[in-house]
Structure 1
Amino acid sequence: MKKILYAVMILLFGISTGCSKYLDSEPLSFTSIANFYKDQNDAEAALTGCYGLLQDSYSVNGRTGVFLIADVGTDEIIGNPYSTPDAEANMDQFLFGRVVKSNLTIKNLWAKVYSGLYSINLLLSQIDKIDMPESRKMQIKAEARFLRGWHYYYMGMIYGGVPVFNSIPHDLKQKRNTLEEVMKQSIDDLQFAYDNLPDEKLINSGRASKWAAGGYLAKLYCYIASCKKYDTGKGLNFPLNSFDWVDINDSYAKADALSQNIINKSGLNLTADYRLLFCEGSVNKQKEEILFSLTPSPQKKIGFALNFYLLPAGSYGGGWGTCRPTQELYSRYDSLYDARANWVVGGLGTEPVTETIDNQVYYQPSKLKLVNGEAVDGDYCGNKFRLLKTEAKHDDVYYGNYPLLRLADIMLLHAEAVAHINGDAAGREVLKVVRSRALIKSRSTDVGKLQTAYRKTDFVEELLDERSRELCFEQQRKFDLVRFNRYQSTIKAISTTRGVWNRNGAIQLVDNVTDTKIWSPIPEEDEIINPNLKPNNPGY
């Protein structure tokens, strides 16, 4: 009970200091909170609370946050805002490419993240005062710094330059740090975690590990290297978010070394059956590949965001079909040889047809009704995640591991780094490993069929297509398009006539998207309370 009490106190304190409505006053004195840190149990409870706040940061209110920002309104997903509780999300702004700085998702995410950061910094400020084994103390420090680095990694990608805090109390009038300073703080934290967390195979993918820290470091290095290489944001003439400081070759070399080390030494493998990564009842199989995940429970639900577009829509799938895949996404797959095609994208779950996967029973979505390779009325559904068939329906909760970082992503990052260092042909050899898992073996054992079908003269286009095939709906797409400087051009190329479930939404998205939207705005409410956050990002 004591541990639960402390975790709740830390959680509530973090929220009270992070929410925008409190930013016009000094934070509550943390002296009384600090007095809770008496022994190892208190530190463990505080760390658990920080993990809970990470989930709040990623999935604000269980429905928005990174789910909306990174997926909705890209060339993977078109949606229908009129079936969405707009008061909680302002989803229409993401769907139509017209996010403004008063957007509720943008505001709430900012508040949740800084709530989490305060709690993390509070823990780090107190941990050395506790009498406990030094080895565990160091591990708690490393886990906390992993979480801090994780937060700044996402803040940099979403907002660009933001205030950086690595001690308490937070200065509520601090100006924005540069994007360089944000990302270097993330690198410093993740490197500390990588160097100090145990070198062992993952046991619980919902907790920080050496390999998760290394994975996010590799992602960050690829992110900044590609942004510099392809001039992301260059035309906006906004020095705060400049990538001029990045050494492309050094960053890719570090990403190459990190990804290779994870592939060779982590003990992780690509789960043989791709489907099991997204089946609720296959938690043990998911741990074979997942480096870091959200691990939902009745107290911490990952539900509504899945309902929007990740679960099969209809009475026997659990999803709402609020957001639907695009023709562009489905057309990327060779549906004859690629097992991912008809698993990720399919029809409605309107019939009580079941299938058994890994000795568990799931409802099976309807097969797509295609005419000339196009779904009738654009009626594609995102079917990537599956709920168990149970007597008591629980479609507001997914109890599997929700992957935030998988080994397949590390391999794709490795392909990117290798291509930069050794050439495109070497990069394609790495892509072959991921495609080999996707190959429908009953039709062919020759992965060359997918290598040939997916080959592009432009390796970046080929890589982006492969990342979309493998990682679609896993909150990657916008960040990938932005870092290769293909955000506006890719969205502009979305068809507004073929395979579009919401034609009006597609037209508005295509018409409204500009490169000024590669970063989200600093929330208007916070900008008013703290004028030092100005200037806002270009276009806002």
Structure 2
Amino acid sequence: MKPSISASNTLENKQRGSIRPLKRHFERIKPSIKKGIKRILIVLLLTSGTFSACNYLETDPEDFVTPDNFYNTGADMERAVAGVYNRLIDQYGRMYSRGLYSYLVISDEFYYKGISINDQRVMDFDAGHLDINKFWEVLYSGIDRANQLLENIDKPDMDETRKNEIHGETLFLRAYYYFLLVDNFGGVPLKLSSTKSPTEPYLPRSSVAEVYAQILKDMLQAETLVGDISKYNYNEKITKTVVQAILAKVYLTMAGEPLKDVARYQDALTYADKVITSGRHSLNPDYARIFINHCEEKYDIQECLWEIGMTGNQLGSVQLAGRVGLENGIECPDDAIGYSNGPLKPTGRLFKLYGAGDLRRDWAIAPYKYVTTNGVTSKSFYTATQIYERTCGKWRREYEQLTPKSRGYSPTNFPVMRYADVLLMKAEAENEVNGPNAAAYEAINMVRRRGYGKPVNTPDAVADLAEGLDQASFRDSLQDERGREFAFEGMRKHDLIRWGLFISKMQSLAIEATAEAPTNFKYSANAAKNTTPRNVLFPIPSTELTVNHLVTQNPNW
């Protein structure tokens, strides 16, 4: 049953109606992929401080494409912006197809099944780790693609409105890639022009403040250029409320660690309010339905402002599938239902964070697994004491529509920005600027009411936050609420770091899990035990340090 939403035609099957944006771009460029995009990637991949150029340069291409004979038409620009978006899905799993909700965001909310030593998943790695190096490379690849498009934005004679939208989308994506870089690595080389030669000079690291200044410049300009989400019946494209919501997140981050620019709380409040007063978005009344929609390939542009679009099962020529529901799925041996080894398991801390009557717990954390007995697969429910045995339950492959279901990939989208996030950012910023006033309470209570299955606009004695909290107590409650609402959505580590709590939370988790986890699950404490202050940032990759001697390493790596 589809949830009730105010606008018509905003929730529809991704395999009906409008073809998905990235898929549409790639379908358009077949059969030109091999001759066109494949060759232009030669230029796009030559990112300063990112690759060893000699490893990526084809010296004798059959059909070389350069900026001189590309970016000439609207179709060229659509192909180019598709290439910028494409870096959000790295096919090897270092972006939103996998890493940014799993092994790149280890925190106190989950641990990895069966992994106890010598692995990034237990915070045991160094600057030479492949996934850290590739994460850096993918982000700079996206930046270089964006730079090259921006340098040619006025070249084609095309519809001016669409040109402006592409301009804005590209500016935003460049800024967003820098946001991921500065959030994970600290100050980084700030490269604002495309690589035109492998012999270009390398750049030193810019300061964190300088990187954020550029992020704001790009996003604020993008806000004036991108289209309104009301133009679309899907949410994979960068639109005005997406830019505004991410700006609120950027401002909140700047207000916290490491910049501590507390004046930015007011900016965060301003931008959260822009999204709220736009009237474009609202909470889906059913928490579980948000994630069922993802698995059923349906759009709900009221709740989900921005999703990373994935499609197919990686069996065709368009490689746009991800691992949502596998990497973070319910344990299941049956391919027909949807295989997952159930790698991500909740900590006891996450399980206990939910209060009595909070329906989100048994959706976010699976209350069952699938077992096969005598050829029949059925649900096996966990007992009340089997907390550490459970898995992530948000994206349940039993709801997937595409068949055959792959053991390695799924077509399920991943949400980067939900309306619940806007409301909780509003509550947080309001509390920091004005204290726990009525507006802060109403924003957090709307999210809580939905979590308890109550009408979101009606006060409720069970769901609503206790009245009379001071600013510090409201802040603590807000932090816990984000943990409940966004469990397994890749936000917890980011939040704990900007609040200055990451190290203390991991250290206390090590003590908790060691004391309370069953004997067979004591290893769930290992990632926390291995976490030290150096883990607030990733190391600058060794591949970068090898070629760029102007870049210095992060502390203690």
TM-score range normalised by the length of the shorter chain: 0.7 to 0.9
Residue matched to 1:236: none
Q: Distance in 2 between matches of 1:389 and 1:258?
A: 35
Secondary structure of 2:381's counterpart equals coil
Establish whether residue 481 from structure 1 lines up as the match of residue 496 from structure 2.
yes
Which deviations, in whole Å up to 9, do the C-alpha atoms of 1:130-157 show, x marking residues without a partner?
Answer: 1122222211111110110110111110
Establish whether residue 434 from structure 1 lines up as the match of residue 447 from structure 2.
yes
Q: Distance in 2 between matches of 1:63 and 1:26?
A: 24
The one-letter code sitting in structure 2 at the alignment partner of 1:381 is: T
The one-letter code sitting in structure 2 at the alignment partner of 1:343 is: W
Contact kept? 2:256, 2:498, Cα under 8 Å: yes
Higher helix proportion: 1
The alignment of Structure 1 onto Structure 2 pairs a total of residues equal to 498
Q: Which runs of 5+ in 1 are unaligned?
A: 84-90, 233-242, 354-362
Establish whether residue 198 from structure 1 lines up as the match of residue 198 from structure 2.
no
Superposed CA RMSD: 3.1
The structure 2 residue matched to 1:130, chosen from 156, 176, 179, is: 156
Which deviations, in whole Å up to 9, do the C-alpha atoms of 1:458-509 show, x marking residues without a partner?
Answer: 3332112111111111111111000000001111111223246864433332
Distance 1:18 1:275, change over 3 A: farther
Larger deviation, residues 42-51 vs 282-291: 282-291
Residue matched to 1:466: 481
Contact kept? 2:108, 2:505, Cα under 8 Å: yes
Residue matched to 1:424: 436
Residue matched to 1:513: 531
Q: Distance in 1 between matches of 2:55 and 2:340?
A: 42
Distance 1:448 1:24, change over 3 A: farther
Q: Distance in 2 between matches of 1:28 and 1:305?
A: 34
Q: Distance in 2 between matches of 1:182 and 1:27?
A: 29
Residue matched to 1:333: 354
Which deviations, in whole Å up to 9, do the C-alpha atoms of 1:55-80 show, x marking residues without a partner?
Answer: 229942876532345532x1101113
The structure 1 residue matched to 2:188, chosen from 162, 183, 187, is: 162
Task: For residue 113 of structure 1, report the CA deviation from its aligned partner.
Answer: 1.0
The structure 2 residue matched to 1:178, chosen from 195, 202, 207, is: 207
Q: Distance in 2 between matches of 1:269 and 1:300?
A: 32
Q: Distance in 1 between matches of 2:141 and 2:150?
A: 15
Q: Distance in 2 between matches of 1:419 and 1:167?
A: 40
Establish whether residue 269 from structure 1 lines up as the match of residue 267 from structure 2.
no
Residue matched to 1:414: 426
Residue matched to 1:358: none
TM-score computed with the length of structure 2 as normaliser? 0.81
Establish whether residue 293 from structure 1 lines up as the match of residue 310 from structure 2.
no
Distance 1:436 1:58, change over 3 A: farther
Percentage of pairs with the same residue: 26
Secondary structure of 1:379's counterpart equals coil
The one-letter code sitting in structure 2 at the alignment partner of 1:480 is: D
The structure 2 residue matched to 1:22, chosen from 44, 52, 59, is: 52
Q: Distance in 1 between matches of 2:78 and 2:54?
A: 32
The one-letter code sitting in structure 1 at the alignment partner of 2:188 is: V
The one-letter code sitting in structure 1 at the alignment partner of 2:507 is: K
The one-letter code sitting in structure 2 at the alignment partner of 1:308 is: E
Secondary structure of 2:416's counterpart equals strand
Q: Distance in 2 between matches of 1:314 and 1:26?
A: 40
Secondary structure of 1:304's counterpart equals coil
Which deviations, in whole Å up to 9, do the C-alpha atoms of 1:342-374 show, x marking residues without a partner?
Answer: 111124422589xxxxxxxxx985433113xxx
Establish whether residue 381 from structure 1 lines up as the match of residue 394 from structure 2.
no
Q: Distance in 1 between matches of 2:279 and 2:37?
A: 31
Residue matched to 2:77: 43
Residue matched to 1:152: 178
Residue matched to 1:304: 323
Q: Distance in 2 between matches of 1:28 and 1:165?
A: 23
Q: Distance in 2 between matches of 1:502 and 1:16?
A: 48
Distance 1:502 1:35, change over 3 A: farther
Task: For residue 81 of structure 1, report the CA deviation from its aligned partner.
Answer: 5.5
Task: For residue 381 of structure 1, report the CA deviation from its aligned partner.
Answer: 1.1
Contact kept? 1:75, 1:326, Cα under 8 Å: yes
Task: For residue 448 of structure 1, report the CA deviation from its aligned partner.
Answer: 2.7
Q: Distance in 1 between matches of 2:408 and 2:482?
A: 28
Q: Which runs of 5+ in 2 are unaligned?
A: 1-26, 313-317
Which deviations, in whole Å up to 9, do the C-alpha atoms of 1:355-412 show, x marking residues without a partner?
Answer: xxxxxxxx985433113xxx26x21211110222666333433334320111111111
Q: Distance in 2 between matches of 1:133 and 1:34?
A: 20
Secondary structure of 1:177's counterpart equals coil
Which deviations, in whole Å up to 9, do the C-alpha atoms of 1:20-54 show, x marking residues without a partner?
Answer: 55246897899824412221111111111211122
Establish whether residue 449 from structure 1 lines up as the match of residue 487 from structure 2.
no
Q: Distance in 2 between matches of 1:26 and 1:397?
A: 27
TM-score computed with the length of structure 1 as normaliser? 0.84
Q: Distance in 1 between matches of 2:533 and 2:160?
A: 49
Q: Distance in 2 between matches of 1:413 and 1:500?
A: 36
Establish whether residue 350 from structure 1 lines up as the match of residue 370 from structure 2.
yes
Residue matched to 1:278: 291
Q: Distance in 2 between matches of 1:466 and 1:300?
A: 36
Secondary structure of 1:381's counterpart equals coil
Distance 1:301 1:508, change over 3 A: same
Distance 1:520 1:22, change over 3 A: same
Q: Distance in 1 between matches of 2:252 and 2:406?
A: 38
Q: Distance in 2 between matches of 1:172 and 1:25?
A: 17
